[in-house]
Structure 1
Amino acid sequence: MTLDILRGFQGIGAAATIPASLGILAHAFPPSRTRNVAFSTFAAGAPLGAALGMALGGVLTQETVMSWRSPFYLETGLTFLCLIGGLISFDPDQPSTEPDKRVDWIGAFLVTAGLVLIVFVLGQGEIAPEGWKTPYIIALLITGVLLVILFLLWQSHLEQLQDHSLFSNLDDEPKGYHSNREADKPAGTSARSWLTPPPLMKVSLWRRAKGRFAIMMAIAFLTWCSFLSWNFWAQLYYQDYMGYSPVQTVLRLLPMFVSGVICNILVAAVVDYAPVLYLIVIGTAGTSLASLLFAVINPNTVYWAFGFPGAVVAVIGADFVFASGTLFIAKVAEPHEQSLAGALFQTMTQVSRLSPPSHGGSTGVALLNVVTRQQAATGWGSETLPPLESYQAAQWGAFAFGVLATLLAIIFFRGVGVVGERKVTAYDDDSKQEKSTTVSSPDLEDSKQISN
């Protein structure tokens, strides 16, 4: 229970930090090659942090007297350093220019309660007294889904009120006239009450770029389901089935972190020229291949046959999709929507996060846990470990997640072009001088203008 509560606080920290970071990067770096490097560098923090954390964590767990408690001291120190670094390096926030700063507390309650109930059910459904047939599991799942649907309807309602207020004021107010009446205030400020705040999330945001914003979110969700499921079951395979120590397991996963850093360097180098379709397909296909290798793994062969290539390609999807995906949503979102778009992208990846096997996990891991239990001759609580077929069944499921993400990219991102920005030097006949022009994807820009 203590770990569950503290994990909740840890999640609050990530939920506050990562979307705000993406918003800071989007505002600090205007569309340019420098922005591409900034976003790719930010994405590289994941494999670098994972490499440092897992390597040191494995050594501390195995070699120190405090065992598994030691890595938490390490995390505390590293987080404190991040706090000091942020206080020193971040510029003060600029005053908000939004005309209406009210908070949609109703929407906040609906989406929070709905997602909490859904994630709770996914984590507890398999270990409930009667499994997925347990009455409270069914009731909470239905309630969670209904709350999320109500949230979307409520946001659509508030967005329509805001748009109606904007256009009615623009049509009725004479040019140059500024009324002090409450009903004549701009953009969503008419009829002020706690029932008419600006929406937390404009539903129309998901239709940006001809609906590709929503598709990118789905690709991110499926990619992280595949990658985190592979990571989770690969570790269990090494430690529980093969009987390796924490340090031995870390050494076998170490190529993943090296290839992750290389992937982000490649994204920064080619995102200005390579269409986003190629980046996403290569990434999701790589993660799918890692799951496929472990789905057919032979424990009697050497590590270099299945384990090493699997570790090398597993992280490609996460790094390629995160870097190119955040650049994509930054391009199609408005300046004041950058942090919101980053928060939505982060939510898609967090919903697929994992937890201990006794708690099932979120979405991808939870669903694959059901598959492995069907394959296993015994449960997790038995002294006998699940057979090899259980680990392989989970990896087949992770492979399916990755393939579905690849198919979505191929179908919906054909012709999108590049998401990066690059400077092209041209010769101006009028001034007889060279000048630089920023080049981006016309498809994205047209779609953004249409949606607005």
Structure 2
Amino acid sequence: MHGLTSAHHSGLLVSGRLADLYGRKRLYLIGMIVVVIANVISGVIPTQIALTVFRAFSGLGLSISSPAGFGIIGTNFRQEPWRTFAFAALGLGTPLGAVLGEIMGGLIAGTGKKGWQYLYFLLAGFAQMEIGDREHIHQSTEGKTQNRQIDWIGAGLITIGISLLLFSITQAGLVEKGWRTPYISPIFSFSIILILIFGWWEHKLEYESSVIPTSQESPTAYPPTAIKDSIPPIVRLSIFSRHKWRISAILGIAFFDWLGICGWVYLTSVYYQDLLGYSPLKNALYILPAPITGIICSCLVTLIVPRVKAPILLALGGISSGLANALFAFQSPNTIYWKNEFFSAILQPFGGDLTIPIGSIIISNLVEDDEQSVAGALFQISLQIAGCLDLCISSIILTQVESIHGLLKGLQIAFWFNATCCWFVLVIIFLAFRKVGLAKDIAKVI
């Protein structure tokens, strides 16, 4: 599983750039083909090492197709309410996948000793359906950037940097000694250095590209090789400061919301399984209202987003997911389920299921057509880093407090931390979006 997630997360940004340059439909189908092949081989592979390798290839396929899918929606669905419907459907995949995956996975895995192998065939079948439906993916999504050179230096820096960053953060939350483990701090430090070098390199390329004359300017003042040799960056760093930093703001909102949401999932499993001694199945049943509510919320998004101001909905999401964590912070093992736990599960999904579709609409409206897939990759990376980081921070808080005050107190403090993360989005919303109306009108607010 770690191989799959690492390959998925680390390849997003480069895949997004390739999709914007060489065609989103092409990259989307290539990614799905990789997923099909990797899952079919995973279902028959005999060794654990080989299985890990092909799970990583499956994650790579997802990293290729995910940003391309975001770009396809961003460039093809221009009119409301269809644009909102499309991004809401994209966001629906998270809660719907959680429910169906949990149910179908349990049923198939329980068919026999090798039932788990059939799960990979099922995943391959889902991906094959996407390939079979390729005629409905519009050709108009092909990239139209004239300069299609690839910044391979930047691609290598950011891919290795993000991979090592997520690896070090994840391991710090899993191993017994945490950050005191000898290899974790050096890997984390090296990843930060690589990402900083990537930022400097991208700034350099963006500056060099900006001095190349446009078609209306006279190119005689520049060397003949200047235009040919100019390599565009993987991501223009100016994207973060456009529209009064609103792209950075929506990435921050998604980041802090997702911190609290992922923390809730992790901490509730500790609460039910470690504190109360419940089985994983009983734990899944107790939190089942969360994905069910998520599906309902995602469906309602199509009705409320075109009618309600984006800041109000984003704030509602942050408040709700924060309250979900706070209810567990007040929870006592002797309290009945229906007092706090049930309502916590009902409130938990709103942060993600409102932020993801609304954030997708906003960030898509704020970038150019040749940046749609890169923007989608940035949005997904902010969520993935948040998920890994919260696992690390919540586990550190939990273990440190537990060693002094016990497991229950550790859980309460960790839940309060996650609630604070969710509520911090209110500050970002006030600073960046207080004058914004509907999500579809975001680009009109200067």
Q: Select 1:235's aligned residue among 265, 269, 277.
A: 269
Paired with 2:272 and 2:183, the residues of 1 have a C-alpha distance of 36
Q: Distance in 2 between matches of 1:368 and 1:254?
A: 22
What is the CA-CA distance between 1:72 and the residue it aligns to?
Answer: 5.6
For the residue of structure 2 that corresponds to 1:416, the secondary structure is: coil
Amino acid paired to 1:304: W
Residue 133 of structure 1: how far off its partner (Å): 4.1
Any conservation in 2 of the 1:221–1:349 contact (CA below 8 Å)?
yes
Percent identity reads 29
- C-alpha change, 1:128 and 1:37, in structure 2 (3 Å) is closer
Partner of 2:188: 141
1:169-188 correspondence to structure 2 within 5 Å: 170-173=216-219, 183=223
Give the one of 101, 108, 116 matched to 2:163.
Answer: 116
SS in 1 for 2:212: helix
Separation in 2, partners of 1:161, 1:352? 33
| Bigger Rg over Cα | 1
Alignment partners' CA distance in 1, 2:305 and 2:363: 14
**Which structure has more helix as a fraction of its residues?**
2
Q: Secondary structure at the match of 2:150?
A: coil
Q: Does 1:402 align with 2:419?
A: no
User: Partner amino acid for 2:159?
Assistant: T
How far did 1:64 drift? 4.5
Q: Which amino acid aligns with 1:445?
A: K
Q: Deviations over 1:205-246 (max 9, x none)?
A: 111221010011111111111101101221232233222233
2: CA distance, partners of 1:308 / 1:117: 38
Counterpart position of 1:363: 389
SS at match of 1:373: helix
Q: Tell me if structure 2 keeps the 8 A contact 1:328–1:419.
A: yes
Q: Deviations 1:15-66 (Å, cap 9, x if unpaired)? A: 22221111111222113211111111221121111111123334556x5543
Amino acid at match of 1:83: Q
1:128/1:39 CA distance change after superposition, 3 Å? closer
Residue 278 of structure 1 corresponds to: 312
* C-alpha distance in 2 between matches for 1:335 and 1:134: 45
Match of 1:343 in 2: 377
Give the TM-score taking structure 1 as reference length.
Answer: 0.80
Which residue, out of 139, 146, 166, partners 1:99? 146
Q: Pairwise mapping of residues 210-225 of structure 1 onto structure 2 (< 5 A)? A: 210-225=244-259
Q: Provide the C-alpha distance between the structure 2 equivalents of 1:248 and 1:50, rounded to a whole number of angstroms.
A: 16
In the superposition, relative to structure 1, how do residues 373 and 60 fare at CA in structure 2: closer, same or farther (>3 Å)? Answer: farther
Matches of 1:308 and 1:134 in 2, distance apart? Answer: 38
Distance 1:403 1:6 in 2: 39
> 1:204 and 1:24 mapped to 2: Cα distance?
23
Give the residue type in structure 2 aligned to 1:171: E
Offset at residue 135 of structure 1 (A): 5.0
Alignment correspondent of 1:300: 334
CA distance in 2, matches of 1:166, 1:414: 38
Per-residue deviation, 1:394: 2.3
1:47-446 matches, cutoff 5 A: 47-59=95-107, 63-66=110-113, 70-71=115-116, 73-89=118-134, 90-91=136-137, 93-94=139-140, 95-125=142-172, 131-134=178-181, 136-167=183-214, 170-173=216-219, 183=223, 190-193=226-229, 196-353=230-387, 362-377=388-403, 387-420=407-440, 440-441=441-442, 444-446=443-445
1:381 alignment counterpart: none
The size of the alignment, in residue pairs, is 395
Equivalent residue of 2:287, what SS?
Answer: helix
The change in CA–CA distance for 1:301 and 1:10 in structure 2 (over 3 A counts) is farther
For 2:228 and 2:189, locate their aligned partners in 1 and report how far apart those are by CA, in whole Å: 33
SS in 2 for 1:192: helix
The whole-number CA distance in structure 2 between the counterparts of 1:131 and 1:226 is: 21
> Are residue 30 (structure 1) and residue 78 (structure 2) matched?
yes
Q: Deviations over 1:245-286 (max 9, x none)?
A: 333222212211221122122221121221111111000111
Do the aligned residues in 1 keep the contact of 2:144 with 2:370 (CA within 8 Å)? no
Distance 1:115 1:100 in 2: 26
Indicate the RMSD between aligned Cα atoms, in angstroms.
2.6
User: d(CA) in 1 for partners of 2:296 and 2:389?
Assistant: 29
Paired with 1:306 and 1:212, the residues of 2 have a C-alpha distance of 36
Q: What secondary structure, in the 3-state scheme, does the structure 2 residue paired with 1:125 have?
A: helix
Give the whole-Å Cα distance in 1 for the aligned partners of 2:332 and 2:177: 35
Structure 2: unaligned runs, 5 residues or longer = 1-47
Amino acid at match of 1:192: K
Question: Match of 2:149, SS?
Answer: coil
Deviates more, 1:334-343 or 1:244-253: 244-253
